[in-house]
């Protein structure tokens, strides 16, 4: 029976003339998940932080506590959930509806928005971004560029592109604002000037959004929606739906399921921010599992600095005796080129190039 399943044609993820079978999506045995997509242990869940107390703009004692809580979560987990974040949930729900409508379209219509010379980012299926294995996912990637969003939407929806374009642009703007708030709070909690990070994000040339939709999978015990990886960017704001599947590697040896919480975002530290803080904040390996019954939608907003931004930890985060400098300075542009050369699977291959030898 298992062999029969593996030979089944996967029409929903076969594009560009491919005739893929389930066996094409099977990962190496070492990557097979030992826990299910909906296994959660409350004692091991990542911290949850509420911004309710500071939504009115006041920055008193409660603000100090929240900044320290963010830094603590970044140091211990590299992840935290954010609730009462100030992003209108109507905006997010409308965005999700538009995304599901996109992914529900026939393959030939979605492929009108496929990556091309005129659209370097866009829709794709079966794209092995993290090594040779195929992820069980459909993917949409776009820069935070209204022009690119509209160009993609026009290709797919034609004259009816406005609802999708408006939802995508509005959501990106809301997530950017939230991201700047998080950067200010992390900087404050680390004892840096509040604009230490944000001043490097005035241009949005590299900030992007990646939407993954994971269809039901007949063989979830051998397939993955997204393999083990760290995010190379500075910070990720992740919107996951009510279907579980996101897992992070706690202490480099234990996979922990991140329980979905309504009206929340999952925040995780990227490789660039780990280097920028001299290892204080940790970029942690994570992955996405799939299941047999349900579609799962995941929206990741990756905040990236300007190409010329110099990633160099400040002296406040260096101690020659207890915490010496770990990375040589580099620009985001140089790091991005390194990412094209190196595949970032099971570790930080590209980032490790900048490690200072002990």
Q: Rounded to whole angstroms, what are the CA distances from 290 to 67, 129, 196, 223, 298?
A: 34, 17, 38, 7, 12
Which residues neighbour 55 within 8 Å (Cβ) at sequence distance 6 or greater?
84, 86
Alpha-carbon gap, residue 217 to 90, rounded angstroms: 30
β partners of residue 114: 123
Which residues neighbour 244 within 8 Å (Cβ) at sequence distance 6 or greater?
37, 38, 39, 40, 257, 258, 259, 260, 289, 296
- Scanning the structure block, which residue is given the tokens 């300007």? 306
Give catalytic status of residue 296 as yes or no.
yes
Tokens standing for 138? 């459909």
- Strand order of the sheet with strand 254-257? 226-229, 286-288, 246-250, 254-257
Alpha-carbon gap, residue 185 to 54, rounded angstroms: 11
Alpha-carbon gap, residue 250 to 346, rounded angstroms: 13
- Scanning the structure block, which residue is given the tokens 């990236």? 304
Q: Active site residue: 210, 213, 287, 296, which one?
A: 296
Tokens standing for 215? 């269809």
> Within 13 A of 20's CA, how many CA atoms are on the CB side?
21
Alpha-carbon gap, residue 135 to 244, rounded angstroms: 17
The packing angle between helices 89-103 and 162-189, to 10°, is 130
Alpha-carbon gap, residue 178 to 303, rounded angstroms: 11
| DSSP letter, residue 323 | B
Active site residues: 296
């Amino acid at each position: 029976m298992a062999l029969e399943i593996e030979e089944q044609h996967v029409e929903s993820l076969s594009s560009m003339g491919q005739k893929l079978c389930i066996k094409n999506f099977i990962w190496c045995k070492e990557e097979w998940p030992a826990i299910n997509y909906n296994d959660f242990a409350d004692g091991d869940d990542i911290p949850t932080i509420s911004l309710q107390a500071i939504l009115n703009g006041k920055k008193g004692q409660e603000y100090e506590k929240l900044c320290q809580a963010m830094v603590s979560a970044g140091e211990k987990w590299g992840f935290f959930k954010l609730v009462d974040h100030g992003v209108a949930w109507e905006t997010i729900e409308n965005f999700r509806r538009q995304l599901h409508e996109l992914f529900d379209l026939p393959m030939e219509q979605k492929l009108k928005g496929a990556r091309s010379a005129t659209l370097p980012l866009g829709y794709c299926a079966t794209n092995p971004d993290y090594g040779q294995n195929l992820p069980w996912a459909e993917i949409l990637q776009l820069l935070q560029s209204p022009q690119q969003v509209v160009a993609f939407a026009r290709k797919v929806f034609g004259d009816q592109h406005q609802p999708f374009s408006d939802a995508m642009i509005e959501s990106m703007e809301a997530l950017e604002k939230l991201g700047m708030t998080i950067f200010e709070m992390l900087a404050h909690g680390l004892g840096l000037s509040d604009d230490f990070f944000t001043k490097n994000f005035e241009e949005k040339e590299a900030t992007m959004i990646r939407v993954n939709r994971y269809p039901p999978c007949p063989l979830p015990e051998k397939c993955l929606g997204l393999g083990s990886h760290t995010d190379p960017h500075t910070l990720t704001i992740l919107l996951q739906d009510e279907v579980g599947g996101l897992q992070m590697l706690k202490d480099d040896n234990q996979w922990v399921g991140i329980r979905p919480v309504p009206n929340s975002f999952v925040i995780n530290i990227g490789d660039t921010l780990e280097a920028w803080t001299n290892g204080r904040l940790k970029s942690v390996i994570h992955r996405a599992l799939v299941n047999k019954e349900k579609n799962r939608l995941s929206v990741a907003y990756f905040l990236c600095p300007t190409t010329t931004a110099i990633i160099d930890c400040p002296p406040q985060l260096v101690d020659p005796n207890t915490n010496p400098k770990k990375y040589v300075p580099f620009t985001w542009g140089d790091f991005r080129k390194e990412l094209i050369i190196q595949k970032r699977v099971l570790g930080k291959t590209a980032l490790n190039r900048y490690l200072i030898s002990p």
